[in-house]
Amino acid sequence: MTNNSPEKEKVLVRCARCEAPFEPRSTGGMAQRYCSVKCRQAVNNSHKKKKVRVGAARKRRPLPEFAKDAAWVLRRDVERVERIFADDRFGAQKEEVTTLLRGHLSYAAEVCQDLLSRIDHPTGE
């Protein structure tokens, strides 16, 4: 008795890491690219290491450019606080607003005064 069904031909592919030939799984899912779990994990681990190296080698922005942007953000935020005090509702809600702002304004005033003194009287930095 002969079998009339054609015999399934073995298809071999090469591993994307070690280039060893292997027969990919026949179940569904994404196409198998690696011959073993070991090869797949080795590739995944090498990608993680590359990301760490790239992140560590990132260049910082030039300090004058960073300072310019920070100064404009500071000015914008101070103007926003000024508008709160100029608002026609301020008189009626002064206690609540000042409770929320007093600590932040005191901190900002102290830090800004310290920074101004460092600009006016630089130390040997």
pLDDT single digits (tens) 70-121: 999 999 999 999 999 999 999 999 999 999 999 999 999 999 999 999 999 8
Both 70 and 48 in one domain: the answer is no
**Calpha distance 75→72 (Å, rounded):** 5
Both 47 and 71 in one domain: the answer is no
pLDDT single digits (tens) 30-64: 788 888 889 989 988 887 766 655 556 678 999 99
Helix or strand (DSSP H, E) at 34: none
Both 113 and 82 in one domain: the answer is yes
In a domain, 6, yes or no: no
Both 42 and 83 in one domain: the answer is no
Both 87 and 41 in one domain: the answer is no
**Calpha distance 33→31 (Å, rounded):** 6
Note every long-range contact of 37-46, with CB atoms under 8 Å and residues 24 or more positions apart, other chains counting: 39/15, 42/17, 43/16, 43/17
Note whether 20 and 13 are within 8 A (CB).
no
Both 108 and 80 in one domain: the answer is yes
Both 88 and 111 in one domain: the answer is yes
Range of the domain at 43: 13-56
**Calpha distance 112→43 (Å, rounded):** 51
- Number of structural domains (the chain) is 2
**Calpha distance 86→19 (Å, rounded):** 72
